[in-house]
Every structure is written in structure tokens, then in C-alpha cells.
């Protein structure tokens, strides 16, 4: 198995970051052919999603998360920024890991699909993402 930890700057506001280019570079660096890519976010307040980006879906996702998980004082988990408790609920909805088939060295994503880091926690401006490739 080949594995690499990459660092992603998410800044101080909620964001969706497309990881597809980083994933492609990782697969090239391993000489991957066919197998399985596992993506893991070792954080209690971030997750991963496969969505279309650049056409509004990423901002729609953040808007939906704001509706579902408001940043207010309802949360029992209260350290950090106001409403930070919602960030700790996020990984139960947007999972912190995923597996993607790799065929001929490329992630087998649909035409408009991208693998994205979803981060609603502005308290942590830098995130780690673990990419692991298991050859088939």
C-alpha cells in the first residue's frame, strides 16, 4: 500500500475544497494502475463528499449544512467559535472517509464528480488528508 498525508489550507471560513487534482498527482506518483483509493480526514470537524464543483453545488452544499446545522448556541459542545458544536456533528453527516475505485491510474469518477474536503470549522485553517492506494 502507498500512503501520503497532504496538507490543505481551508482558511477561516466554511469551505468546500476540491481534492481531485491532488488525488490524481498522488496516483501518478505511486505508478497506480488498478486498485482502490482510500481518502481519510483525521479531524473531528471535517468530512469528504463527492459532488460537482464550480457550478454552484459546492455553495449549495454549504447552504444546506447551514440550514441543517446552524451555528448557534443550541449545541452542548461549546468550546471554540460560537456554534462550534455543529462542526463536531458534521462528520456524522459528511463522512470523514471514502473509497474510490482506480482504473488505469485514474479515479473512476463520473464526468462532473470531484472528491472534496468539506470544512465548516473556521477555527482550524489547515487540514490533513490521508491518501492511500491499494493495488488490485
* CATH number of the domain where residue 21 is located: 2.60.120.460
* Residues of the domain holding 26: 2-135
Tell me the per-residue pLDDT of 86-100, one tens digit each, with 9 for 90 and over. 999 999 999 999 999
Nearest to 106 by CA among 133, 81, 127: 133
Contact 113, 120 (CB under 8 A): no
For 19, counting Cβ atoms within 10 Å of its Cβ (0-12 exposed, 13-18 middle, 19+ buried), the class is buried
User: Whats the size of the chain, residue-wise?
Assistant: 136
- pLDDT range class, residue 78, cuts 50, 70, 90: confident
Mean of the pLDDT values across residues 64-77?
94
Residue 3 has pLDDT above 90, yes or no: yes
- pLDDT range class, residue 83, cuts 50, 70, 90: confident
Tell me the per-residue pLDDT of 31-49, one tens digit each, with 9 for 90 and over. 999 999 999 999 999 999 9
- Cross-strand bridge partners of residue 133: 2, 37
Lowest mean pLDDT among 22-31, 54-63, 73-82, 116-125: 73-82
Q: How many domains does the chain have?
A: 1
Q: What is the pTM of this model?
A: 0.95
CA atoms within 13 A on the CB side of 128: 7
Amino acid at each position: 500500500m502507498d500512503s501520503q498525508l497532504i496538507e490543505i489550507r481551508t482558511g477561516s471560513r466554511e469551505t468546500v475544497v476540491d481534492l481531485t487534482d491532488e488525488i490524481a498527482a498522488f496516483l501518478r506518483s505511486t505508478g497506480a494502475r488498478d486498485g482502490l483509493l482510500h481518502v481519510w480526514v483525521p479531524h473531528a470537524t471535517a468530512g469528504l463528499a463527492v459532488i460537482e464543483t464550480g457550478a454552484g453545488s459546492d455553495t449549495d452544499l454549504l447552504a444546506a449544512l447551514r440550514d441543517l446545522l446552524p451555528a448557534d448556541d443550541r449545541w452542548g459542545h461549546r468550546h471554540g467559535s460560537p456554534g462550534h458544536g455543529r462542526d463536531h456533528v458534521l462528520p456524522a453527516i459528511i463522512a470523514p472517509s471514502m473509497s474510490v475505485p482506480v482504473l488505469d491510474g485514474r479515479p473512476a469518477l463520473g464526468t462532473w464528480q470531484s472528491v472534496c474536503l468539506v470544512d465548516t470549522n473556521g477555527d482550524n485553517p489547515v487540514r490533513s488528508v490521508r491518501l492511500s492506494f491499494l493495488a488490485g
